[in-house]
Amino acid sequence: MIKYTGVSISPPAWARHAILLFFILCTLAVNAQKKITGKVTEDGTSQPVFGASIQVKGTTRGAITDEKGQFSLSVNPGDKLLVSSMEFESQEVTVGAENTIHIVLKKSTAGLNEVVIIGYGTVKKKDLTGSIATLKGGDIKTEGASNVSRALQGKLAGVTVEAAGGDPGAGMRILVRGVGTFNNANPLYLVDGVQVNNINNIAPGDIESMDVLKDASAAAIYGSRAANGVVLVTTKSGKNGPPVIQFNANFGSQKLIKKYDVLNAQEWATVSNMAHDNAGLARLDIAANPNQLGAGTDWQDAIYRTAMMQQYNLSVSGGTEHTRYSFSGQYNDQDGIVDVTGYKRYGIREKTETTKGRLKVGQSLILTRENWTKMPGGWGGQGGNPVGSAVKMIPVFNIYDENAIGGYSGASGPVVNVANPVAQLHLEDITTNVTSIIANAFAELTILPELKYKFNLGYTDAFISHKDYTRRYEVGGLFANPTNNLAQASNRYNLVMAENTLNYAKDFGKHSFQALAGYAYQKYVRDSSASAKNDLADGISELDNGAIISAVSGNKLVSTLVSLLGRVIYSYDNRYLLTASFRRDGSSRFAPAYRYGNFPSIAAGWNISNEKFWSLSPASVSMLKLRGSYGILGNQEFDDYGYAAVINSNINYVNGNQSKWFGAIQTTYASPYLKWENTETVDVGIDAAFLHDKLTLTADYFRKNTTDLLLKVPIPGSAGSAADPFVNGGNILNKGVEMGIGYNDKVGAVSYSVRGTFSSIKNKVLALGTGTQQIAGGQPTHHGADATLTQAGGEIAAFYLIKSLGIFQSQEEIDAYKGKDGQLIQPSAKPGDIKFFDANGDGTISNADRLDMGSSFPSFEYGLGINLNAYNFDLNLFLQGTQGNKIYNGLRQDLEGMNLEYNYARTTLNAWTPTNTNTDMPRAVIDDPNFNARTSSRFLENGSYFRFKTLQLGYTVPTRLLERAKISSLRAYLSADNLFTITKYKGFNPDIGRSGSILDRGVDFGHVSYPLARTLSVGIQLSL
């Protein structure tokens, strides 16, 4: 048995120790030296760094760390030690009086020798010509973030990460360089080379690196799927050496940061009575005696809770000369801050790679199971989900009624049908389970030293089962469900891909040459079925028990893609770099004549600092590279089979016997002439390093021009189609700059790094449909008119709103507000009502008066990360924000409308009255004849925010304390997520999290809103 202790010499390490001994012997004679021991660990993770070189500056003396990151070396006081390792930033340490020394290495960010993953291969960062943003595993802080994409927010220049839905375990929306399509704007995700729908199920701790391919040169090798960018996730591999066992655990608690400030029962009744009095209508009975109502029910308190979360990750990795392996298991359990909701994830992952002779074979497998417990959607009422209902529910109503079927009370009488949020959560059980397989296997044959053939097989399968069980209930007077009902749905997403590639790489003197050619095939199948039954016995939630089949459906979608691909990378003398690539894709989604698309790209780079004439010292500018690229990418994200006209079934009617009469007919027009959406990208970039690489800078300017936009162009209603057909009908331009800056230094015992990202992207719709076409989106409330319009000359989903001009203070003002023919523009207005701007001058207020009121896209967004290390402590901060974007606050439109019978915002207490005129809140009037509550600029808000997203304090236990326990490293940390947010936005969260159409993203809709939680957590990271 081999003991891996500090003093024993393990077989792989003995040789290095022999070298060390040699060096020591060589230098012994020269000086009176002392012997020091030390340890090298990785910043952030505190993992030992194996194989790092420690060299005494100006000598040939040195040492190499063992698998525990330890070394010993004879030195003179005052010697400078140069510590370096692949993938890490080099460090210089001056020897003092101490006999032990702890060196923390930071994964290199500029990392010029760093290898960057590109499609179907890798390239050294210094040879890179495309625009790629890379994040290493160590940078993906996992605190408080149960999924990877959440941890990405603000960390990659040009990559926008925003909330998409609020349930725990909900994904994030990732936009690479803005929005260039009205269809699926998600980037292409590849995990270990396999295409997946999302990366939410990947444990953050399993990730070695994430590379986001942003420009056409980087992404063109993925052709038709790459127009929205490509996210390459590489999971961890083993390293040559003895096994390393790592264990991470995190426990946290999440709490609601901000409640919506709504009225209590007495206050509500006061405002309600005022609104009825002003309308000349009878008061509501339930509001009859405000003074006797007290506070009533606080519906928000009734649904929110302090929610616990825990995450564990255990991994084992290692390898020999021939085989490397890595496997891990993850468990994640997160309760939502909304009662009942929760998310659990279990997973195992393994990855091996074996080389024998000319053959290398490898495989990776990720199996995960995710379980969600979700919120109901509002039971068809007008309150929306429990979050929306909790703010709108009138506080006069009670939560429980033990005599009612189901046990809950709720709204009744002549009020808006907002469903009791507590009853929603407890009477309807919604669970979604997803079992996913991501598998990859490859064989690579080295035919000649320079020529390799690789066959890669990828397979993903996601089995999604959804179950929705509703108990029978009578909740108040407005909601009843006479029978127990169950609806089940299952979906399967299956993808098979096969790729054959030939890779040739050879250096001829100063010429370096790499070529790739390949053929790829993929098939994507989506199978869905759903069934529902009513009238189940109490307590039984399986379909067999149901009596009445209420719905059964099922369908299948298949698409295939075949591709030819090629790429040449050439560099001369590390100075001139050239990359050219080409992909030809054929897709089943298009009619035969339009099936194929060609996607070429070309890029060039110039390492100026490698030129002979370069005379600047590395102490000022240590590296400078210019890059430029041009290429075309495609997008085929639209309906399968869209080119053929179909007969829609199940559009039913009733026959004279009052039974179902099955209907079927063509309801929409086909789109037989569709072709690919094309995106042409030009990118120019600069990579630079200063002050001996302490300061690094990457900056890019890009122009992304999407043409032949796949678009549903509204055709005249009189054409009679039930939906608009797809056409290639538009042109969008995105342009922007993005920048990443890093600075690393050390002051005394404190080493620190600062990293910032900055992106500014603007989009413009250059052409749309027939020319005058407008696409409306962003419904803000249950009945509210759309808040955004997309049209040629404007931005995607710009806010087009009727402009509010403040409050009419008197009848004279109303009478003076006349159109060109002398008619009153707002004849129904009374003092205290909102004055709207008659922009088109036609004498009435209508949608034709909408004006461009701003953008949902920020002028710029930014992220700033700071890491500090001193002694055994480390401090990590992350700040992030957006500037210049607007948000349409639909929930406030509901709560400050005072035109509907539900609860109101506290601000309505300040409503205009003849004696309270100095206010921006119009009068309360329940029938709202002037439409004060209409969709207008009144509810448009500044959406800029600055968020202190992460604060983490870690402590690494000194090695000497751990040796006896045979632990190689141990770090404990305290972490706070979403500490505070500075914003003028009045809603729950300026990162509003609206999923669905890209055209809705700047509109905060009460039915789907979700508040932000603050998370406090503790964790340990242990390595054996």
Partner 1 sequence: MKKILISVAATLVFASCSRDTLDLTNPNQITTETFWKTESDVKSALAGTYGLFKNVNGGLWGVRGVELSNGRGDDFFIRNDVAALYQLSTFTNTPDNGVSEGVYNVCYRAIFRANQILENVSKVGLEADKEKAYIAEAKFLRGLNYFILVTNFGDVAIRTKVPVVTDDYFVAKSPEKDVWAQVIKDFTEAAADLPVTNYGRATKGAALGMLGKAYVYTKDYVNAATILQSLTMAPFNYSLTANYEDNFKEDTENNSESLFEIQLSDVGGTNPWAGENANETLGVTTAQEFAPGEVAGWFEVSPTDKLFNEFQKEKTTTNELDPRMYATLIWDYPGATFYNKPFTAFKLQFGFKSMFKKYQNYTQNNELKGSKGGDYTSSINERVLRYADIELLLAEALTMQGRTGDAYSYLQDVRSRAKLGLLANGLGQDAMMAEIRHQRMIEFAREGQRFYDLKRWGLLQQEITNSDKVGKQYFVNGKHDYFPIPQSEITTNAKMEQNERWK
Q: Hey, which residues between 523 and 552 contact partner 1 (CB under 8 A)? A: 523, 534-535, 548, 550-552
- Residue 113: name the closest of 97, 128, 98 by CA: 128
Residue number with CB closer to partner 1 (557 or 816)? 557
Residue number with CB closer to partner 1 (501 or 885)? 501
833-852 positions binding partner 1, by CB under 8 A: 844, 846-848
The contacts of residue 965 (CB under 8 Å, 6+ apart) are none
Among 658, 747, 749, 915, binds partner 1 (CB under 8 A): 658
55: how many CB neighbours lie within 10 A of its CB?
19
**Distance (Å, rounded) from C-alpha 864 to C-alpha 873?**
20
628 touches partner 1 by CB under 8 A: no
- Residue 142: name the closest of 133, 152, 154 by CA: 152
663 touches partner 1 by CB under 8 A: yes
403 touches partner 1 by CB under 8 A: no
Only one of the segments 154-162, 459-467, 653-661, 1006-1014 lies at the binding site for partner 1 (rule: CB under 8 A); that segment is: 653-661
875-914 positions binding partner 1, by CB under 8 A: 899-900
Shortest CB 785 distance to partner 1, Å: 8
Among 31, 320, 828, 910, binds partner 1 (CB under 8 A): 828
Only one of the segments 424-432, 446-454, 750-758, 975-983 lies at the binding site for partner 1 (rule: CB under 8 A); that segment is: 446-454
478 touches partner 1 by CB under 8 A: yes
Please name the amino acid found at residue 822. G
Only one of the segments 140-148, 243-251, 306-314, 585-593 lies at the binding site for partner 1 (rule: CB under 8 A); that segment is: 585-593
Q: Is 122 left (phi over 0), alpha (psi -120 to 50) or beta?
A: beta
Shortest CB 675 distance to partner 1, Å: 14
616 touches partner 1 by CB under 8 A: no
For residue 988 the two structure tokens come to: 């729950």
The contacts of residue 1019 (CB under 8 Å, 6+ apart) are 142, 143, 248, 249, 250, 251, 972, 973, 975
521 touches partner 1 by CB under 8 A: yes
Among 502, 686, 737, 870, binds partner 1 (CB under 8 A): 502
Residue number with CB closer to partner 1 (306 or 500)? 500
Shortest CB 560 distance to partner 1, Å: 5
Binding characters for partner 1, 276-315, by CB under 8 A (x = yes): ----xxx--x------------------------------
**Distance (Å, rounded) from C-alpha 93 to C-alpha 560?**
57
653 touches partner 1 by CB under 8 A: yes
Shortest CB 151 distance to partner 1, Å: 38
620 touches partner 1 by CB under 8 A: no
**Distance (Å, rounded) from C-alpha 829 to C-alpha 787?**
23
Beta bridge partners of 278: none
CA angle at residue 594 from 593 to 596, to 5 degrees? 110
- Cite the beta strand spans of 240-292 per DSSP E: 241-256
Total residues in contact with partner 1, by rule CB under 8 A: 105
Residue number with CB closer to partner 1 (86 or 557)? 557
716-745 positions binding partner 1, by CB under 8 A: 716-722
Residue number with CB closer to partner 1 (197 or 412)? 412
609: how many CB neighbours lie within 10 A of its CB?
19
Residue number with CB closer to partner 1 (23 or 469)? 469
668-707 positions binding partner 1, by CB under 8 A: 669
**Distance (Å, rounded) from C-alpha 841 to C-alpha 202?**
56
**Distance (Å, rounded) from C-alpha 156 to C-alpha 755?**
10
Shortest CB 612 distance to partner 1, Å: 40
Do residues 252 and 897 make contact, with C-beta atoms less than 8 angstroms apart?
A: no
Helix, strand or coil, per DSSP, at residue 301: helix
- Cite the beta strand spans of 399-546 per DSSP E: 428-448, 451-470, 473-475, 479-481, 484-508, 511-536
Among 14, 519, 614, 871, binds partner 1 (CB under 8 A): 519
485 touches partner 1 by CB under 8 A: yes
243-282 positions binding partner 1, by CB under 8 A: 280-282
**Distance (Å, rounded) from C-alpha 948 to C-alpha 880?**
7
DSSP 421: H
Among 249, 367, 564, 1024, binds partner 1 (CB under 8 A): 564
Shortest CB 783 distance to partner 1, Å: 5
Among 291, 292, 403, 772, binds partner 1 (CB under 8 A): 772
CA angle at residue 138 from 170 to 349, to 5 degrees? 60
For residue 418 the two structure tokens come to: 């907002």
Do residues 623 and 613 make contact, with C-beta atoms less than 8 angstroms apart?
A: no
Residue 909 φ/ψ, nearest 5 degrees: -60, -20
323-382 positions binding partner 1, by CB under 8 A: 380
Among 558, 619, 750, 965, binds partner 1 (CB under 8 A): 558
Among 79, 928, 1000, 1004, binds partner 1 (CB under 8 A): 928
Q: Where are the alpha helices (DSSP H) in 200-342?
A: 216-219, 265-279, 299-303
659 touches partner 1 by CB under 8 A: yes
Residue number with CB closer to partner 1 (86 or 549)? 549
Do residues 670 and 643 make contact, with C-beta atoms less than 8 angstroms apart?
A: yes
82-141 positions binding partner 1, by CB under 8 A: none
934 touches partner 1 by CB under 8 A: yes
Residue number with CB closer to partner 1 (844 or 883)? 844
**Distance (Å, rounded) from C-alpha 583 to C-alpha 563?**
7
State the residue for tokens 């050294």: 124
Among 640, 680, 813, 963, binds partner 1 (CB under 8 A): 640
- Cite the beta strand spans of 47-139 per DSSP E: 53-56, 62-64, 70-75, 80-84, 91-94, 100-105, 115-118, 121-124, 132-136
650 touches partner 1 by CB under 8 A: yes
Residue number with CB closer to partner 1 (321 or 538)? 538
Residue number with CB closer to partner 1 (623 or 845)? 845
- Convert 811-831 to b/e letters by CB count within 10 Å (16 or more is b): eeebeebeeeeeeebbeebeb
Element (H, E) at 550: strand 548-572
- Residue 836: name the closest of 803, 866, 860, 807 by CA: 803
Shortest CB 921 distance to partner 1, Å: 19
Only one of the segments 202-210, 481-489, 598-606, 1007-1015 lies at the binding site for partner 1 (rule: CB under 8 A); that segment is: 481-489
For residue 890 the two structure tokens come to: 């639909």
Do residues 311 and 142 make contact, with C-beta atoms less than 8 angstroms apart?
A: yes
782-801 positions binding partner 1, by CB under 8 A: 783, 785
State CA 976 to chain mean position distance: 20
Residue number with CB closer to partner 1 (201 or 382)? 382
**Distance (Å, rounded) from C-alpha 991 to C-alpha 949?**
12
952-1011 positions binding partner 1, by CB under 8 A: none
Residue number with CB closer to partner 1 (28 or 848)? 848
Do residues 1006 and 894 make contact, with C-beta atoms less than 8 angstroms apart?
A: yes
482 touches partner 1 by CB under 8 A: yes
929 touches partner 1 by CB under 8 A: yes
415 touches partner 1 by CB under 8 A: yes
443 touches partner 1 by CB under 8 A: no
Residue number with CB closer to partner 1 (208 or 640)? 640
Only one of the segments 15-23, 119-127, 447-455, 976-984 lies at the binding site for partner 1 (rule: CB under 8 A); that segment is: 447-455
**Distance (Å, rounded) from C-alpha 145 to C-alpha 140?**
10
Helix, strand or coil, per DSSP, at residue 269: helix
Only one of the segments 266-274, 331-339, 664-672, 982-990 lies at the binding site for partner 1 (rule: CB under 8 A); that segment is: 664-672
